[in-house]
């Protein structure tokens, strides 16, 4: 039976990859389809006919509106829905068919909700609600060579104050980087926009869309210029202006032009006070510039906009910018200031809105670890929230539940609770799948080295490397696991290596285990000398091995390699350079005591660089030794005048020193109003300065390492 209620109209060209998904999602018996094909060279017309569509062939004239308008007079249905081939119905089609007969005759066009996926790896999506549904026979048509707009000749009979939102949700993945890379749509759009701007110079809507196209082409600087020109010419009431501001701000952020972004949004958040995305972006700009208290307030205003649900339908918005994203940002700032209980509460609020949002899950695990909770308690807290949220039985881990459990396991690993992550994964091995190479890495980090070796042999022992070679980090994990277990590299390890790498790995392994190797360096006459084969490719390999050993917590292996290097090194400068490099790796991974030993040794030799000097200064700052810290920060600046970290560290150290002097004076004169005022002013400056991103960024894993047993890495005298 022919459906006379709703017909679907499309224009297509070479869409055989996308079209079946689109047509399947809308399929209903008797559905009227008009598909205008503008010159496909693939199976697009054939696929359309298989679904019962009427295919209209038209020559492509570099004009979207002309192509779109071809099928409109042919409609035999009351309503027309215009969609693109890379869109598809998520849900609401049945509800739409029940809804349309109830729409009052005075309403002739409707909005639909479109969710645009913008990231391949996450659930991130931008949501907007354009008019895509309209009554046939009411004079509606499209205008515009590109980014065509729906207009109506019969304005008297089609005037309506607002456009209701129909109960239909569409998905769209055409903005994914992989989809853009596969096609030539941005280049096509660029050509059409240039034609439009030649005919209509400085037309602000086309300048805006030119900026969008520059973004898709990866030319962010040109995109910013186009957006700026468009904004200058666009009237305040233009319907696309709020989206223009949003996109312009995002580009300024990508270009790290934070001053411009902050100035822009300071004004535009007043124009659009209920636009959550702008408040969220403003908060990000403020946070990037160290203005954390103001950033927190801006994130809170983004949350406040969620109270007015109707306002968000007016704007193009990224999902979660009025709920879980700002809550997560507020939690992060609270944690940074030491308000751990408030931080945990805010992370919880974020998870109330998106129960498996990875940044919130990982943040909650991190703050619970910082609060002193055990790994078992952290795991139970994450699982309990999830169980309450989905009201699932403990054994139910299928479908959506399995995906959320997987994210919980990753959150546990992110905070260094590798043993708990592996234990939970083992309990749910049949339900939850995680890359075995990731599991091997976690085993190594958890100190379960022999298990890691066994898994590596099982995974890669008979692998055909010519078909699928191992990633460098996978091979490093396998090697470190072998040495940490007291084993040499197995025959399977060497055989799975590519031919050109096999000799280097074999030589490195024999040297590490104290076996005879060829081509000794003849310069050094005593002790074990550095093999000549290790002068070039293997030197880089040894550095990779040492770095991976530190990253996986296998400091004994790292120490053994360090001592091998020191024993074999013939040049003092090489020894100092290697020690300095290793100290930086250790420090950034949280092994501050081991790093300090090496840094002090380098300083004694007069060979400490600006980075190492800063690290020592930061370590002293953390202990409250501000006078010694400021000296080191100043020395770091003498070596590298561009070190913003050292400059900020010195300034904040001076503030603490000044505060200490005033507090000593207040002991003698506790009622002195001038001293009290100075103290209050300094405390306010310090609160503001806490937002400056100058400290080394450590999280739960690095905090654990600070408390771990750390071997002594000693430089040898030369």
User: In the prediction, which pLDDT does 521 show?
Assistant: 45
Give one DSSP letter per residue of 52-75, joined into a string: TPEEEE----S-HHHHHHSSGGG-
What's residue 533's pLDDT? 45
Q: Which residues are bridge partners to 64 per DSSP?
A: none
| Contact assessment for residue 262 and residue 283, using Cβ atoms and an 8 Å cutoff | no
How far apart are alpha carbons 175 and 430 in whole angstroms? 35
Q: What mean pLDDT is predicted for residues 652-678?
A: 94
How many whole angstroms separate alpha carbon 113 and alpha carbon 150?
17
How many other C-beta atoms are found inside a 10 Å radius of the C-beta of residue 201?
Answer: 9
Inform me whether the pLDDT recorded for 567 exceeds 90: no
pLDDT band at 474 (very low <50, low <70, confident <90, very high): very high
Percent of the chain with pLDDT over 70: 92
Predicted confidence at residue 500, as pLDDT, reads 80
Q: Over the Cα atoms of the chain, what is R_g? A: 31
CA distance 334 to 351: 16
Task: Give the lowest-confidence range in 93-107, 296-310, 469-483.
Answer: 296-310
Mean pLDDT value of segment 63-74: 96
Rounded CA separation 277/268 (Å): 11
Q: Which residues contact 47 (CB under 8 A, 6 or more apart)?
A: 16, 19, 20, 23
Predicted TM-score of the model (pTM): 0.89
Long-range contacts formed by 656-662: CB under 8 A, 24+ apart: 656/626, 656/686, 657/626, 657/627, 657/630, 658/682, 659/683, 659/686, 660/626
Asked whether the predicted pLDDT for residue 525 surpasses 80, the reply is no
Q: Which of 298, 254, 251, 306 is nearest to 278 (CA)?
A: 298
Kindly report, residue by residue over 633-659, the tens digit of the pLDDT.
Answer: 999 999 999 999 999 999 999 999 999
Beta-strand runs (E) in 300-417 = 317-318
Give 170-210 pLDDT, tens digit per residue.
999 887 777 776 668 889 999 999 999 999 999 999 999 99
Paired tokens of 170: 């569409």
Range with the poorest average pLDDT among 112-121, 173-182, 196-205, 274-283 = 173-182
The span from the CA of 88 to the CA of 241, in Å, is 27
Q: What is the rounded CA–CA span in Å between residue 588 and residue 551? A: 10
Considering only CA atoms, which of 513, 570, 508, 499 is closest in space to residue 537? 508
Report the alpha-carbon distance of residue 507 to residue 10 in Å, rounded: 64
Give DSSP secondary structure letters for 260-281. Answer: HHHHHHHHHHHH-TT-HHHHHH
- Please name which of 406, 377, 405, 371 lies closest in space to residue 389, comparing C-alpha atoms: 405
Q: What H or E segment, with its residue span, contains residue 115? A: strand 109-117
Question: Half-sphere exposure of residue 376, counting CA atoms within 13 Å on the CB side?
Answer: 0
pLDDT of residue 527: 39
Q: Give the Cα separation of 595 and 25 in Å (integer).
A: 59
Which of 308-312, 409-413, 539-543 has the lowest average pLDDT? Answer: 308-312
pLDDT at 385 over 50: yes
**Using CA atoms, how far apart are residues 95 and 301, in angstroms rounded to an integer?**
34
3-state SS class at 648:
helix
Choose among 81, 82, 85: nearest CA to 22: 85
Higher-pLDDT residue of 314, 438: 438
């Amino acid at each position: 039976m022919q459906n006379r209620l709703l017909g679907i109209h499309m224009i297509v060209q070479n869409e055989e990859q996308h079209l079946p998904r689109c047509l399947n999602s809308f399929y209903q018996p008797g559905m009227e389809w008009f598909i205008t094909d503008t010159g496909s060279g693939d199976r697009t017309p054939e696929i359309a006919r298989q679904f019962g569509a009427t295919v209209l062939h038209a020559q492509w004239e570099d004009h979207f509106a002309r192509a779109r308008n071809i099928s409109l007079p042919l409609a035999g249905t009351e309503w027309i829905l215009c969609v693109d081939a890379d869109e598809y119905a998520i849900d609401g089609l049945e509800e739409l068919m029940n809804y349309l007969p109830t729409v009052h005759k005075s309403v002739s066009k409707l909005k639909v909700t479109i969710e645009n996926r913008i990231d391949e790896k996450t659930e991130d999506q931008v949501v907007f609600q354009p008019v895509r549904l309209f009554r046939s026979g009411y004079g509606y048509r499209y205008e515009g060579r590109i980014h065509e707009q729906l207009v109506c000749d019969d304005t008297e009979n089609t005037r309506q104050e607002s456009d209701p939102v129909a109960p239909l949700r569409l998905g769209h993945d055409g903005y994914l980087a992989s989809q853009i890379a596969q096609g030539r749509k941005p280049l096509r759009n660029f050509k059409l926009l240039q034609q439009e701007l030649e005919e209509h110079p400085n037309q602000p809507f086309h300048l805006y869309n030119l900026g969008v196209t520059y973004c898709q082409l990866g030319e962010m600087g040109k995109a910013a210029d186009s957006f700026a020109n468009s904004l200058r010419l666009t009237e305040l009431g233009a319907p696309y202006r709020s989206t223009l501001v949003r996109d312009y701000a995002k580009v300024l952020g990508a270009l790290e032009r934070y001053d411009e972004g902050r100035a822009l949004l300071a004004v535009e958040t007043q124009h659009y006070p209920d636009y959550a995305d702008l408040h969220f972006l403003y908060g990000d700009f403020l946070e990037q510039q160290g203005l954390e208290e103001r950033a927190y307030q801006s994130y809170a205003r983004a949350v406040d906009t969620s109270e007015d649900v109707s306002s968000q339908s007016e704007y193009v918005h990224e999902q979660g910018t009025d709920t879980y994203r700002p809550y997560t940002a507020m939690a992060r700032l609270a944690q940074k200031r030491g308000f751990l209980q408030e931080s945990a509460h805010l992370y919880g609020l974020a998870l109330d809105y998106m129960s498996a949002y990875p940044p919130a899950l990982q943040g909650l695990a991190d703050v619970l670890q910082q609060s002193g909770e055990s790994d078992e308690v952290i795991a139970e807290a994450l699982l309990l929230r999830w169980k309450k949220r989905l009201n699932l039985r403990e054994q139910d881990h299928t479908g959506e539940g399995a995906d959320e459990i997987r994210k919980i396991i990753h959150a546990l690993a992110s905070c260094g609770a590798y043993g708990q992550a592996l234990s939970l994964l083992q309990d749910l091995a049949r339900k939850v799948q995680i890359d075995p190479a990731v599991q091997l890495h976690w085993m190594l980090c958890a100190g379960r080295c022999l298990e890691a070796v066994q898994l590596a042999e099982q995974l890669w022992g008979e692998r055909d490397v010519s078909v699928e070679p191992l990633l460098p980090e996978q091979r490093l994990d396998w090697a470190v696991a072998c040495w940490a277990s007291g084993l040499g590299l197995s025959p399977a390890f060497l055989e799975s290596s590519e031919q050109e790498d096999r000799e280097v790995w074999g030589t490195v392994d024999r040297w590490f285990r104290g076996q005879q190797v060829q081509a000794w360096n003849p310069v050094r006459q005593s002790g074990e000398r550095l093999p000549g084969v290790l002068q070039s490719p293997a030197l880089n390999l040894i550095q990779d091995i040492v770095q991976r050993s530190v990253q996986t917590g296998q400091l004994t292996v790292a120490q053994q390699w360090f001592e091998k290097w020191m024993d074999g090194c013939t040049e003092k400068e090489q020894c100092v350079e290697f020690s300095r490099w290793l100290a930086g790796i250790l420090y950034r991974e949280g092994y501050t005591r081991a790093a300090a030993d090496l840094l002090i040794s380098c300083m004694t030799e007069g060979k400490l660089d600006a980075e190492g000097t800063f690290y020592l200064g930061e370590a002293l700052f953390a202990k409250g030794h501000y006078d010694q810290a400021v000296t080191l920060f100043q020395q770091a600046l003498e070596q590298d005048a561009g070190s913003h970290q050292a400059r900020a560290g010195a300034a904040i150290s001076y503030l603490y020193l000044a505060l200490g002097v005033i507090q000593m004076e207040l002991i003698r004169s506790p009622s002195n109003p001038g001293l009290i005022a100075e103290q209050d002013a300094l405390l306010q400056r310090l609160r503001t300065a806490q937002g400056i991103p100058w400290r080394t960024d450590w999280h739960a894993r690095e905090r654990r390492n600070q408390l771990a047993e750390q071997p002594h890495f000693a430089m040898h005298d030369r």
